[in-house]
Amino acid sequence: MASLPEIVEVEHGSGAYPIVIQDGLLTRIGGWLEPYLALRRVFVVSDEQVWASLGERLASALLQAKIGLVPLIVEAGEQSKSWEALIDLAQSLIQLGLERSDTILAFGGGVVGDLAGFAASIVKRGCSLVQVPTSLLAQVDSSVGGKTGINVEQGKNLIGTFHQPAAVFIDPELLETLPERQLRAGYAEIVKYGLIGDLGFFAWCEGCGPALIAGHPGLRSEAIAASARAKAKIVARDERETSGERALLNFGHSFGHALEAETGFGDTLLHGEAVAVGMCLALRYSAALGHCDLADAQRVEKHLASVGLPTTIAELGIATSGERLAEHMRHDKKAAAGKLSLILSRGIGSAFVDLNSDLQAVAAFLDREIGRDSKRHAALR
Ligand SMILES: NC(=O)c1ccc[n+]([C@@H]2O[C@H](COP(=O)([O-])OP(=O)(O)OC[C@H]3O[C@@H](n4cnc5c(N)ncnc54)[C@H](O)[C@@H]3O)[C@@H](O)[C@H]2O)c1
Ligand SMILES: [Zn+2]
């Protein structure tokens, strides 16, 4: 018998939508979708890898529910978040007869969600979007909150819209085909919710994280639901990132993005891996400034390392400098009016926004980090 679905409501400026989490949900997706479809069909946007792994399962569930399926499959990977891919997708949707009352179903990781969401917000001046996220990162983060976007030469996610989905349907069993490295990377975003505002949840992660990674299905659903609740709460209070509250979700991300920029935003360093190191850097920097205890930073490092995530710059094997990394941070979209805005911590579960971080001090801290790491590694050799 199927487990009961967990339903988290996300409230936003113009309404609310449910996040439904249930093992095996994909087989019953037709029934879940019905109330959201004006026309008895869906335009499914997916990527080649997800479609090869899970496409048949979605197609047969829709066939069973007599819901028509129009598939649009993009290349897997970050390169699909581009102007070219967006134009291609938008024009294909129109050529295939999409009406304004149609629904686009994003079936994939964060790349597909961001691209399909963007297309849904502009084609025919906006049509309905349903998210069925298939990566752990998308299930706990990117499918919720309504941010869509693509990357341009000048940086990641610089062009985009806010377009809230009509519903998000999460089947944790879809993670069975997700590569383990991607799973670990997504897990970093789960830990992030504990570090931002919930010490109890972080302690839960310490106890359950390794079993969750190893494949315990109940634990995965529990962590996904807790993450959805945490994100829903923040998004409800600050839908468009105006009060600073939503910015807390960027904990570890300014440092992380700088590391990703150094490695070219690709497979060398996955987003979640960069965030894992970034969160440790944010905690160690907070400790260096006297905002929190170094013991908190060490506790987080220990947990992330226990699930196989990196915690230091040296582990990433990139040759860089504090100045270079700080320069990337300055260019990051979170740097406003010449000041570096950073999410720091007063301890596990107490992140806060510091709008006036000193760029030079951050660069000097990063130099010490790089130096400390290389000394430690030299000692190990
Ligand atoms: N909109 C937001 O609020 C938000 C938040 C966080 C991240 N993002 C964006 O999300 C993107 C990263 O998302 P991601 O980590 O999911 O990357 P992704 O979409 O590239 O997925 C990672 C890889 O896993 C594969 N995959 C996904 N699900 C699978 C499954 N079940 N089985 C087999 N393979 C599967 C994909 O084909 C891809 O190769 C970034 O572009 C980031 O900017 C957006
Ligand atoms: Zn992230």
Q: Of 189, 262, 273, 301, which one is the catalytic site residue? A: 189
Query: Computed from CA positions of residues 255, 260, 263, 269, in that sequence, does the dihedral angle turn out positive or negative?
Result: positive
CA of 193 to the centre of ligand 1 (A): 18
The answer to whether the CB of 332 falls within 8 A of the CB of 254 is: yes
CA of 41 to the centre of ligand 2 (A): 32
Residues 6+ apart with CB under 8 A from 366: 281, 313, 321, 322, 325, 326
Catalytic residue status for 257: yes
Q: Could you tell me whether strands 150-152 and 155-159 are parallel, antiparallel, or unpaired per DSSP bridges?
A: antiparallel
DSSP SS3 for 254: helix
The C-alpha atoms of residue 350 and residue 363 are separated, in whole angstroms, by: 24
Phi and psi at 341, nearest 5°, equal: -95, 125
The C-alpha atoms of residue 271 and residue 160 are separated, in whole angstroms, by: 19
Q: Could you tell me whether strands 128-133 and 167-170 are parallel, antiparallel, or unpaired per DSSP bridges?
A: parallel
Contact 246 CB / ligand 1 (< 6 Å) = no
Written as tens digits, the pLDDT of the chain (381 aa) is 567 899 999 998 889 999 999 999 999 999 999 999 999 999 999 999 999 999 999 999 999 999 999 999 999 999 999 999 999 999 999 999 999 999 999 999 999 999 999 999 999 999 999 999 999 999 999 999 999 999 998 888 999 999 999 999 999 999 999 999 999 999 999 999 999 999 999 999 999 999 999 998 799 999 999 999 999 998 888 777 777 788 899 999 999 999 999 998 888 999 999 999 999 999 999 999 999 999 999 999 999 999 999 999 999 988 899 999 999 998 765 555 556 889 999 999 999 999 889 999 999 999 999 987 565 555 544
